[in-house]
Structure 1
Amino acid sequence: MSRKTLEARSFLLRCRRSYSATSRLSQHPRPATAPKQHPHLSQIRDNVELYEHNTVIRNYHGHKDVPRKVAENARKIADLDHRMSGPRHTLKELQKQMNSTKGDKSHFVAQMRELRPSLNNLEAEREKLDAETRNLALSLPNLTSSETPTDGEPRLRSYINYDPANPPKYGSSADHSVIGEKLGLLDFSSASVASGWGFYYLLNEAALLEQALVQYALSVAMKHGWSVASPPSLIYSHMAAACGFQPRDQNDEQQIWQVAQSARDAGKPTRSLAATAEIPLAGMHASKSIPESRLPVKLVGSSRCFRAEAGARGVDTKGLYRVHEFTKVEMFAWTDCPPTTEGLPEESIWVQYSAKVFNEMVGIQTEILSSLGLPCRILEMPSSDLGASAYRKIDIEAMFPSRKKRDDGWGEVTSASICTDYQSRRLETRILEMSGSQKKFAHTVNGTAMAVPRVLAAILENGWREEEGCVVIPEVLRGYMGGLEKIGPR
């Protein structure tokens, strides 16, 4: 292997972690075992203005020049391919002639040696440019649905258990932190000593309530045909980056906690604590092909989740709303997708395969929150609020009386996203078609079935009966708590 080729390969490894606008998660070398990534280069090349506009509405302003750079590099790569075609053809012909000659072959060898250095230089230049182009393309966020607001504000879709003309009235003590301390359910001070700020102990009925919420959410999802999985909480950092967990620029807060490595593990792939079960669930079919007949594959799983950015915005510094570690039940699905195309298919065709599962997810979320008796609103989230992988996102927010001074009391409790083929292209998850072909990349959809701390907090605040000094437990949860109807003073 020539020195130029070795240098190009070395550059390929470096550039995977050098692009300044990507997350620190992607600054570590991807191991040879990592899924091969397949950015849609031709689509970006042929739709530069669309992708430029998309970076603006997604608040990826530092990436606005990336689509044009990708297109320019694609043209340079095509030019290099053209320049290499002649020498490659000549080398091939010389090799044929040399193989068929029984006599002196030295003149063939001399001609090949004369051609090889310039071709090696072109090949190294192409490999370097191709690596840079792929790295740039992978840093771009997903495209955005026409359903998604682009003015920075969410669009109200509907309410659950809530009439804006006749909103519920709450007492001044309807604060889950106060209620939890009064009833012996929450202990933040001990957790701050044991683990630091952003951690908590759930005690007595609150600990039972956590398990009840998990079991209830799983039962609703299973009723709708979802299979249960129990995923790991430790994942490779490059898997998290492939799922789209990356900030918009280097100054953005980090969501993922990386696990420290000892000196003996130097050079091995770094690991992170999963911020959501979405990451390990997505990894189940990394570098695999799913038979078309099995689609959609729908999984629901409970896991512990870890968020490094808890409280970074400085507004949720009290209680369970924003914490470092929590239990969550997550839904994740792989769906079919349109036939492979180099262009942009009509959106109605593009999303019809994943929209059905997406709507089912939102329906499951609505059923769970409705049966818990929580006042909620359903929002179509704006483009600036979408993570890198999301094409479209719907959030459901519950009413928290303790948050009345911010966001009018509303706070997110579930989210659902269509990610089209963004994740599958980075995880190399394909569809094995009936014909035996596996060219298509699956679409992925994810959604929260139950974010325990927030829902638990909402139940404490909405179920609080100030006169009696107790919390009424939603009827659907009582069977999971030994028939307990209320949580009263100890």
Structure 2
Amino acid sequence: MSKGRLDPRTFLLRCRRAYATAPAPKRERPATAPNQTPPLRQIRDNVELYGENTVVRNYRNHRDVPRKIADNLRKMNELNERLKGPREEYNNLQALLYRKESDQDDIIPRMKTLKLGIDELQFEHGVLDAHARAMALSLPNLTSSQTPTNNEPRLQSYINYNPENPPSYDSSADHALIGEKLKLIDFASASTATGWGFYYLLNEAALLEQALVQYALSVALKHGWSVATPPSLVYSHMADACGFQPRDQNDEQQIWQVAQTGKDVVKPPRSLAATAEIPLAGMYAGKAIREEDLPVKLVGPSRCFRAEAGARGVDTKGLYRVHEFTKVEMFAWTNSPPARDGIPEEEVWTKYATEVFDEMVGIQTEILESLGLPCRVLEMPSSDLGASAYRKIDIEAMFPSRKAKDGGWGEVTSVSICTDYQSRRLDTRILEANATRKKFPHTVNGTAIAVPRVLAAILENGWREKEGCVVIPEVLRRYMSGMETISSRGKDWSALTKI
């Protein structure tokens, strides 16, 4: 054993201690998973900022992670300095080895000794690097200065609603009761067939679902978005990369895991997509987008699956919080500032993403306004942001049946800027001419229509108790063969053959 070197047992024990302090990955990533590039230098140079961010994002268990990352990077630099001498000596000996006059009996043992020392230092460097990357990937995104940090959303505006003269509602304006009365929704049969949190949409409600999808697509297409229908099954590491991860191991999961049975099944685990955001983001995983093609804006309908359908009480009633639903999602990749180690000013950092973000909010507003739904627009607080979101706006509609909770308001759409959080984890790059460093696009995602909630809001806001019917929003009637109301009277479907 050379002087100053650790014996193998001591070295392995130190490595195990180093690994023990690293956040445990949710699941092992397969070899086919995209490369991940966390912003290690940004974290090292902004330890205080990242540490404070974990607090406002309710990741308090990660408060010391940025400092540990900086310590690891410092130790890695020290190891690089220690490696310079042995590497230079090794290269010089290797050059001497090929000279005829060299004494190989003396050179080769010296090279072997040097190689052992170099390998040991490189292995220690690799442990520190893997540890730093794992810790960095466990951190949430940074937070916009426009995001409230007091746990309360900030009201931006109202849609179809005057708080000084709020609308009045019939006491029976409850979509679960209306759905049963008008034979539109069957929860009982679904609970028998599949379980709690599932439902059948029947008759006009089934048509209304398709009408909402078609209308939302038409609005997005009118604004220049391209349509895509994504798969509903994704590799689980794709969901992780998009930020669908709990704040700690005790948090409840939202993702349905899909079991794969059979002998010798060695496949990457798959999940049912909680939102089309995941498979849409995966379209460019491991790929580069030409800078001149940005922004790339996609809108797509899909089925969504949520394993956790909400707490007991008012949220478990009806369609508001369910396990499976149809949604039309918007997803975009935008340009980003020039690649560098520091964090640019916010206006520069999110310039391109904010343009698409505002466009998404405009599309959401147009859809909900034309549906006649009373809504409010909220800037959401940091405690409500998922791991990937840098900034988030929700639009909530009025649900008379939820008056006992949040005054009747309930989320129907959401839009988030995710900066380069997702693209770094999915290895989605920007292809620039004469680029010397990797540049990652910023991603933005938002709901065009979450069908069950909007459908429920239409039933409750369109309910006319005296007439025993629901008024269908005018913009949807073209997709329902001109149908104006839904009632319990005899249903004549012959007119729908014109669709």
C-alpha displacement of 1:110: 1.1
* Secondary structure of the corresponding residue to residue 389 of structure 2: coil
Q: CA separation in 1, counterparts of 2:19 and 2:113?
A: 31
Matched with 1:23 is none
Matched to 2:285, the amino acid is: A
More divergent stretch after superposition (260-269 vs 198-207):
260-269
> Contact 1:255–1:308 at 8 Å: present in 2 too?
yes
Identity of aligned pairs, percent? 71
> Contact 2:416–2:445 at 8 Å: present in 1 too?
yes
For residues 369-422 of structure 1, what are the alpha-carbon distances to aligned partners after superposition, in whole Å with 9 as ceiling and x for unaligned? 000000000000000000000000000000000000001000000000000000
For residues 417-450 of structure 1, what are the alpha-carbon distances to aligned partners after superposition, in whole Å with 9 as ceiling and x for unaligned? 0000000000011100133556210100000000
* Secondary structure of the corresponding residue to residue 158 of structure 2: strand
C-alpha displacement of 1:86: 1.0
Matched with 2:330 is 331
> Contact 1:293–1:434 at 8 Å: present in 2 too?
no
* Secondary structure of the corresponding residue to residue 100 of structure 1: coil
Aligned residues between the structures: 478
Matched with 2:425 is 426
> Contact 1:253–1:312 at 8 Å: present in 2 too?
no
Matched with 1:375 is 374
For residues 177-236 of structure 1, what are the alpha-carbon distances to aligned partners after superposition, in whole Å with 9 as ceiling and x for unaligned? 000000000000000000000000000000000000000000000000000000000000
Matched to 1:245, the amino acid is: F
> What does 1:357-376 align with in structure 2 at a 5 Å threshold?
357-376=356-375
Q: CA separation in 2, counterparts of 1:377 and 1:71?
A: 42
Q: CA separation in 2, counterparts of 1:263 and 1:88?
A: 49
Matched with 1:171 is 170
Matched to 1:255, the amino acid is: Q
* Secondary structure of the corresponding residue to residue 172 of structure 2: coil
Q: In the superposition, relative to structure 1, how do residues 442 and 17 fare at CA in structure 2: closer, same or farther (>3 Å)?
A: farther
> What does 1:145-184 align with in structure 2 at a 5 Å threshold?
145-184=144-183
C-alpha displacement of 1:19: 2.0
> Contact 1:330–1:449 at 8 Å: present in 2 too?
yes
Matched with 2:484 is 485
Matched with 1:406 is 405
Q: CA separation in 2, counterparts of 1:321 and 1:417?
A: 21
Matched with 2:190 is 191
Matched with 1:68 is 67
Matched with 2:254 is 255
Over the aligned positions, Cα root-mean-square deviation in angstroms equals 1.9
Q: CA separation in 2, counterparts of 1:95 and 1:67?
A: 41
Q: CA separation in 1, counterparts of 2:360 and 2:461?
A: 24
C-alpha displacement of 1:253: 1.2
Q: In the superposition, relative to structure 1, how do residues 92 and 40 fare at CA in structure 2: closer, same or farther (>3 Å)?
A: same
> Contact 1:376–1:396 at 8 Å: present in 2 too?
yes
Matched with 1:444 is 443
Q: In the superposition, relative to structure 1, how do residues 388 and 79 fare at CA in structure 2: closer, same or farther (>3 Å)?
A: same
Unaligned runs of 5+ in 1: 21-25
Matched with 1:34 is 33
In the superposition, the TM-score normalised over structure 1's length comes to 0.95
Q: CA separation in 1, counterparts of 2:28 and 2:262?
A: 17
Q: In the superposition, relative to structure 1, how do residues 389 and 17 fare at CA in structure 2: closer, same or farther (>3 Å)?
A: farther
Q: In the superposition, relative to structure 1, how do residues 392 and 106 fare at CA in structure 2: closer, same or farther (>3 Å)?
A: same
Matched with 1:112 is 111
Q: CA separation in 2, counterparts of 1:198 and 1:244?
A: 24
Q: CA separation in 2, counterparts of 1:432 and 1:449?
A: 29
Matched to 2:200, the amino acid is: Y
The runs of at least 4 consecutive aligned structure 1 residues that moved more than 4 Å come to 14-18
Matched to 2:276, the amino acid is: A
> Contact 1:17–1:28 at 8 Å: present in 2 too?
no
C-alpha displacement of 1:98: 1.1
